[in-house]
Amino acid sequence: MKDLGKKNVLGVLVDAVDYEAAVDRTIIAARLGQPYGVSALAVHGVMTGVRDTHQRYRLNSLELVVPDGQPVRWALNLLYRTGLEDQVRGTAFTLRVLEQAETDGLPVYFYGSREAVLHAMLANLSKRFPQLAIAGASPSLFRTVGADEQHEIVNRIRASGAKLVFVGLGCPRQERFVYALRERLTMPTIAVGAAFDYLAGTLRDPPERMRRIGLEWLWRLWLEPRRLWRRYLALNPAYLGLLALQTTRLWSAGATGLRPEGLEPVDA
């Protein structure tokens, strides 16, 4: 198990953890019934924190941010010599948490994506984890919700008896959701990106070789070119350029961010 704490990557605090440590920390919080914000963050997620000081504050307020993406792991190893041997990929992390939740009898809840994706994912998970207690699932509303609807979402999840909630709204919507609601949910709230689609089978997993050399983004771009081309072709070079500046100490990345004021509307 490796857990070297939070490290500054372009101003975003990423936990230098492996799968075992990330799962252990999440499950402990679930057993204790503690609010616990978690995000699996790849390059795109890091860059949302670089470009938006409010988002940086949100990300840096979460209890656990795992390096979902080889380039984020490489940054931790390059800047801090953490010696991490692999990323903590959102889909694999989700499966490991679910496996432990099944063993411990911890009910889980899923929030986000489309009804058809949720249905397919739950069917697949029921086969893979026949003893897993699924407390409930809600598709995304695909719109912004204010205080009253946030309260309804929180009450629905808490009333389900869930001890863990997985959020699949896409970055950065899901991180804003987790930041806004985690203190009102007495459980880990885990932003896992495209994991719902992978677990439903609506997205195909990248070849292991592509993943290991950091080209999962290229696989995603090939699968969803119209939706993702701007994200990857603009943000990836910017990420590498800023990482080079931070590595050579030509630029110091501040990790403070700017706290959002009041109760924010969130995309749910």
Q: Which domain holds residue 24?
A: 3-263
Alpha helix positions (H), the chain:
19-32, 43-51, 53-61, 70-80, 90-104, 115-128, 147-159, 173-181, 195-200, 208-212, 216-223, 225-247
Residue 259 maps to a domain: yes
Residue 198 maps to a domain: yes
Examine residue 188 and say whether the peptide bond preceding it is cis (omega within 30 degrees of 0): no
Res 138: pLDDT: 95
Res 211: pLDDT: 67
Res 229: pLDDT: 65
Res 41: pLDDT: 94
Instruction: Assess contact for 61 and 195: CB atoms under 8 A.
Output: no
Quick one: tokens of 166? Answer: 């997985």
Cα–Cα distances in angstroms (integers) from residue 51 to residues 46, 75, 180, 233, in the given order: 9, 18, 20, 16
Residue 65 maps to a domain: yes
What total of structural domains would you count in the chain? Answer: 1
Query: Could you give the dihedral angle defined by the CA atoms of residues 40, 59, 75 and 68, in that order, rounded to the nearest 10 degrees?
Result: 10
Residue 85 maps to a domain: yes
Measured CA to CA, the distance from residue 34 to residue 85 in angstroms comes to 29
Instruction: Assess contact for 160 and 136: CB atoms under 8 A.
Output: yes
Give the pTM.
Answer: 0.91
144-167 in b/e form (b: 16+ CB < 10 A) is: ebeeeebeebbeebeebebbbbbb
Quick one: tokens of 61? Answer: 């307020």
Residue 268 maps to a domain: no
Res 210: pLDDT: 64
Measured CA to CA, the distance from residue 137 to residue 157 in angstroms comes to 9
Question: What does the pLDDT look like over 188-239, one tens digit per residue?
Answer: 999 998 899 989 988 777 777 766 766 776 666 666 777 766 666 777 888 8
Res 268: pLDDT: 85
Burial class (CB in 10 A: 0-12, 13-18, 19+), 214: middle
Residue 201 maps to a domain: yes
Instruction: Assess contact for 145 and 202: CB atoms under 8 A.
Output: no
Residues in the chain, pLDDT under 50: none
